Amino acid sequence: MMNENRDAMHAHPKAPALPAAPAVLISEVGPRDGLQSVRAVMPTAHKLAWIDALHASGLREIEVGSFVPARTLPQMADVAEVVRHAIALPGWTVMALVPNLRGAQAALQAGVHKLTIPASASEAHSLANVRRSRAEMVAVVREVVALRDAVAPGVPVEIGMSTAFGCTLQGAVPDDEVVWLAEQLAQAGVDEIGLSDTTGMANPVQVRRLFQRVRAAIGDKTGSAHLHNTRGLGLANCLAAWDVGVRTFDASLGGLGGCPYAPGASGNVVTEDLVFMFEAMGVATGVDLGRLIAAREALKAGLPGEALYGFNLSFGMA
Amino acid sequence: MMNENRDAMHAHPKAPALPAAPAVLISEVGPRDGLQSVRAVMPTAHKLAWIDALHASGLREIEVGSFVPARTLPQMADVAEVVRHAIALPGWTVMALVPNLRGAQAALQAGVHKLTIPASASEAHSLANVRRSRAEMVAVVREVVALRDAVAPGVPVEIGMSTAFGCTLQGAVPDDEVVWLAEQLAQAGVDEIGLSDTTGMANPVQVRRLFQRVRAAIGDKTGSAHLHNTRGLGLANCLAAWDVGVRTFDASLGGLGGCPYAPGASGNVVTEDLVFMFEAMGVATGVDLGRLIAAREALKAGLPGEALYGFNLSFGMA
């Protein structure tokens, strides 16, 4: 059942052309979100082999690293080289995380297709994660957008709004503050604003309500769902987001990663399980599940001994 | 946030009475479905202590065993004693599985509140699991209903329709056959017909479609969702069922169990995670999550070394 559209096109070349774009975009974040959450530093050659394996699975978007000082995150010291490798592979969008103007300059110089900037809905998390208040972070975003407009107008700027569904440092995060911050960021000129369940506190009712409220406020600038599986609700929350029109989902191969500055939180949604769910639902992802599962070997080779997660460890729908 | 209604009632005795029934009924199946799937035989005293711990959590329905020959399932040799113990505890419905008339006679004699009969949507699974065709099983159900009508008219008869979402022996199970079997069983006089994802093959789109189709055919006789987590979709499928009006969910403490006659299939939905999801959504379960998690200790004591699952292993919403 995997990739039946693609197979059908090969088998019947005279059949009417099918839509090229998958119905849902799976955005792999393991090489950034995953790697920056583990202590080990993956050697560059292993990163490149892992990224190649992810590319071979048909993924169309990937976040390959963070442009941050190497003394802060030694895991990301080789990010420019990783970007240059990834952008040479055809047919996908290569993103990098940039926390500030300096990072954005370096990322654009390396040739990224898209920038993503973290901004926390929780003031406490904002101070812990990027050492800036939310208002200061909006100012940083304005600077990055101005740089982008000046030197790389075709490069979208995305926000991953951390702690949108709750914060282990602060507790509940009011919906109104999420909407307020989304509006501020939209006015600052970003192209997409996604909502992240950094701390694994989201539930399906909240996911539906918050994405609907944000969409009502900023329309088509509403971006991806970045949901965690900390409490086992990862896929249920993805389903809830899908139900209210979200069409881009962040996930991490093997569930690698989480957020190092949100104590007790861990567990990105597992890309393999997410792809399985959508394909089982008849929603084309463009990803070959067998090849995706095979990419776990490249990840394991680069991070021996690291815990990986996922229920779908063998290919096949049944 | 757990049991805020109950706590509120204690704190404010003059407050208006709240509805007694929870918004959703969690039906614990571990002592039946769980135990019959593992090789070890849990000693009776441990079963009773585990059932006591489950009762203390506020569960309102439990399936405590199967009335089957002890040579077939030695795990269930003490089922009558277990039933007599469980029905002495107040405020919950005690069910037992009965595959045939002889089992129903013994179960009613022991004093069960409710009977559940397995019937497979897949002909291949029916032959493997109960050694009868589907049509033969409908005839058995008629016999059990006649017995119930004669000797225990207040005892509901429920069907758990196995392999409703697919079968590892047969492959796909057409929706039409599920609806046909549900109609046959409703005409045979049963009170509730639930749908079981015995093999972990269900997806949310299918869950919504099939429960809607069955409800269109048999109305309020549509019963519980018994969903597995084999592919990680357990909670997403429960959410999907909830969305289309299902209000009873089977689950197993620690995810114990599955189906021994469906090769490769395993993994009931974890009761702790299901309760967490509903409570987080604001849907009252009547279950105290802290006490439910504590009941894992009683389960572990009776089945040392058995693998247990679940993401919510400590009390608290955040």
Put simply, the answer to whether B203 touches A238 (Cβ < 8 Å) is no
Q: Which of B203, B231, B235 sits opposite A233 (nearest CB)?
A: B235
Contacts of B168 in chain A (CB under 8 A): 318
Tell me if A296 sits within 8 A of A254, measured CB to CB: yes
Chain B interface includes A264 (CB < 8 A): no
Q: Which of A206, A235, A311 sits opposite B230 (nearest CB)?
A: A311
Chain A interface includes B230 (CB < 8 A): yes
Query: Best residue in B165, B281, B283, B309 to probe A by mutation, most A CBs within 10 Å?
Result: B281
Chain A interface includes B106 (CB < 8 A): no
DSSP B157: E
Q: B217: which 2 tokens?
A: 């055919």
Query: Best residue in B208, B239, B244 to probe A by mutation, most A CBs within 10 Å?
Result: B239
Q: A275: which 2 tokens?
A: 């792809």
Residue of A nearest to B172 (CA): A318
Other C-beta atoms closer than 10 Å to the C-beta of A178 total 22
Of B259, B275, B277, B293, catalytic? B259
Residue of A nearest to B228 (CA): A311
Question: What pLDDT is stored for residue B7 in this prediction?
Answer: 40
Contacts of A281 in chain B (CB under 8 A): 203-206
Chain A interface includes B277 (CB < 8 A): yes
Question: What pLDDT is stored for residue B273 in this prediction?
Answer: 94
Q: Which of A231, A239, A240 sits opposite B311 (nearest CB)?
A: A231
Per-state percent for chain B, helix, strand, coil, to nearest 5: 45, 15, 40
Question: What pLDDT is stored for residue A258 in this prediction?
Answer: 62
What was the ipTM of the complex prediction? 0.90
Tell me if A81 sits within 8 A of A147, measured CB to CB: no
Tell me if A66 sits within 8 A of A77, measured CB to CB: no
Q: How far is A150 from chain B (nearest CA, A)?
A: 43
All structural domains of chain A: 30-297 (3.20.20.70)
DSSP β-ladder status, B222-226 and B114-120 = unpaired
**Which CA distances in Å does B20 have to B9, B86, B271, B286?**
11, 21, 21, 9
Tell me if A272 sits within 8 A of A291, measured CB to CB: no
Question: What pLDDT is stored for residue A266 in this prediction?
Answer: 58
Residue range A99-136, pLDDT digits in tens: 999 999 999 999 999 999 999 999 999 999 889 999 99
Ranges of chain A with pLDDT below 50: 1-16, 18-19, 260-265, 316-318
Q: Is residue B238 flagged as an active site residue? A: no
Q: How far is B263 from chain A (nearest CA, A)?
A: 11
What are the pLDDT tens digits along chain B (318 aa)?
Answer: 334 444 433 444 444 454 457 899 999 999 999 999 888 999 999 999 999 999 999 999 999 999 999 999 999 999 999 999 999 999 999 999 999 999 999 999 999 999 999 999 999 999 998 899 999 999 999 999 999 999 999 999 999 999 999 998 989 999 999 999 999 999 999 999 999 999 899 999 999 999 999 999 999 999 999 999 989 999 999 999 999 999 999 999 999 986 544 444 458 999 999 999 999 999 999 999 999 999 999 999 999 988 888 888 875 443
Chain B interface includes A254 (CB < 8 A): no
Put simply, the answer to whether A236 touches B236 (Cβ < 8 Å) is yes
